[in-house]
Amino acid sequence: MSNLLKFPDGFLWGTATSAHQVEGDNLNDWTEWEKENAERLAREARIYWQPWQQKKFLEMFSPENYISGRATDHYNRYEEDFDLAKVMNNNAHRFSIEWSRIEPEEGKFDEKEIEHYRQVIWALKKRGIEPFVTLWHYTNPIWFQKKGGWLNKNSPKYFERYANKISRSLQNVKFWITLNEPDDIYAFYAYYTGRYPPQEKSFRKTWRALNNLVSAHKKAYRKIHENCPSSMVGFANNIIYFESKGIIARIIKIFANKYWNFWFLRKTFSYNDFIGCSFYRHNTLSSFKVNQNENIETTDIGWEIYPKGIYYVLKELKKYQKPIYITENGLADAQDKYREKFIIGHLNWIHKAITEGVDVRGYFYWSLLDNFEWDKGFWPRFGLVEIDYQTMERKVRPSAQEYAKICKNNGLIT
């Protein structure tokens, strides 16, 4: 006999994308960086990836892989893409607005580009899909980067001006995400490890950027509420499930949670109407060693598949007593071998957390489309929809059909 694990009424089912990863033809600090670094990244693929990955994904050795270029041409094909989301019975969609399109020169706003995003929102609404609008997903206008980016003491004010303009122009949007993973992904990779532009490696600079991002979030939160009083505003928080083995690891876990997972949330706590939780990673700590995972199943980029981790993370978030949206959860899986099982596995654990009183209100699979995976380029395939980058043809993967059933039933049939 089959059983339906029902999700709460009004649960939001969707997918997520970000402007730079799907739109194509952007001009921002990342596009500049790509040009300068594509050859190096192609060369370094030999050091960075395992032999099985190198054998399977030959694109990683080609510099073009690291140039976002036309990306998926979503800027021109968003209607077609939202039709696919509709066929998938999605009732929500998360996407980002590209700051460099809106404000290509300091203080000068491009009304045509604002109109573009108005049309994007309208295209979602007319399909019965609730927009979740992200204002910033890692990319900066070139003028902003030239002024020192997030190290500039005025950076929060620049962001506030942009947030003000956009929220005034798009008052029919209810859900806003100010910043995507500002701390443990962006600030860490851009200012500490030097993996993302502007490739700084300095604790002092990381700290400065972090504090500016905190202030930017708070300012944007206030502006959005001024312009759209009934909106819900938050940021997307990348949360790792730290599993601890042994006493030392348990102590490390306390610090890891405090400073890695929840620092930004605690710093901006009363400036969040909900918690955006993006979940990808499990990290087993044992003594002073990290990443001691069993890795029974891994994705194409080598991340362990560990659905139960989302349950533990949600249980940890319960104490904050705010609504939670899973702003991202997904995997790179070109052959669509694990995707269906991955989604069902995570949703099972999310459902269990809900039955135990965690207020989860929505789930966004990352991603609707295959897309440009930052410093890794195009070869990792996260999409429910496959992209042929030569023809831009879209092909719905089998796992998308399973996700469509879940969305339609507002639950999992077990």
Q: Rounded to the nearest whole angstrom, what is the least distance from the CB of residue 246 to ligand BGC in the complex?
A: 29
Nearest residue (CB) to ligand BGC, 181 versus 402: 181
Residues 271 and 68: their CA atoms lie apart, in Å, by 34
Nearest to 102 by CA among 197, 169, 18, 155: 169
Q: Rounded to the nearest whole angstrom, what is the least distance from the CB of residue 279 to ligand BGC in the complex?
A: 10
Residues 162 and 160: their CA atoms lie apart, in Å, by 5
Nearest residue (CB) to ligand BGC, 158 versus 366: 366
Nearest residue (CB) to ligand BGC, 53 versus 89: 53
Ramachandran category for residue 302: left, alpha or beta (phi over 0 → left; psi -120 to 50 → alpha):
left
Q: Rounded to the nearest whole angstrom, what is the least distance from the CB of residue 136 to ligand BGC in the complex?
A: 11
Q: Rounded to the nearest whole angstrom, what is the least distance from the CB of residue 359 to ligand BGC in the complex?
A: 23
Give the SS3 label for residue 72: coil
Which distant-in-sequence residues (6+ apart) come within 8 Å of 320 by Cβ? Answer: 265, 269, 275
Residues 273 and 283: their CA atoms lie apart, in Å, by 28
Q: Work out the number of other CB atoms within 10 angstroms of the CB of residue 246.
A: 11
Q: Work out the number of other CB atoms within 10 angstroms of the CB of residue 193.
A: 12
Ramachandran category for residue 305: left, alpha or beta (phi over 0 → left; psi -120 to 50 → alpha):
beta
Q: Rounded to the nearest whole angstrom, what is the least distance from the CB of residue 335 to ligand BGC in the complex?
A: 18
Q: CB of 282 within 8 A of CB of 243?
A: yes
Nearest to 99 by CA among 133, 76, 60, 64: 133
Q: Work out the number of other CB atoms within 10 angstroms of the CB of residue 48.
A: 13
Nearest residue (CB) to ligand BGC, 162 versus 374: 374
Which distant-in-sequence residues (6+ apart) come within 8 Å of 254 by Cβ? Answer: none
Q: Rounded to the nearest whole angstrom, what is the least distance from the CB of residue 374 to ligand BGC in the complex?
A: 6
Q: Rounded to the nearest whole angstrom, what is the least distance from the CB of residue 410 to ligand BGC in the complex?
A: 26
Nearest residue (CB) to ligand BGC, 103 versus 328: 328
Nearest residue (CB) to ligand BGC, 244 versus 278: 278
Q: Which residue is listed with tokens 């295209």?
A: 123
Nearest residue (CB) to ligand BGC, 18 versus 145: 18
Q: Which residues bind ligand BGC (CB under 6 A)?
A: 18, 21, 180-181, 185, 238, 278, 328, 366, 373
Q: Rounded to the nearest whole angstrom, what is the least distance from the CB of residue 238 to ligand BGC in the complex?
A: 5
Q: CB of 311 within 8 A of CB of 243?
A: no
Q: Rounded to the nearest whole angstrom, what is the least distance from the CB of residue 237 to ligand BGC in the complex?
A: 10
Nearest to 86 by CA among 412, 354, 363, 403: 403
**Quick one: tokens of 94?**
């998360």
Nearest residue (CB) to ligand BGC, 18 versus 155: 18
Nearest residue (CB) to ligand BGC, 238 versus 283: 238
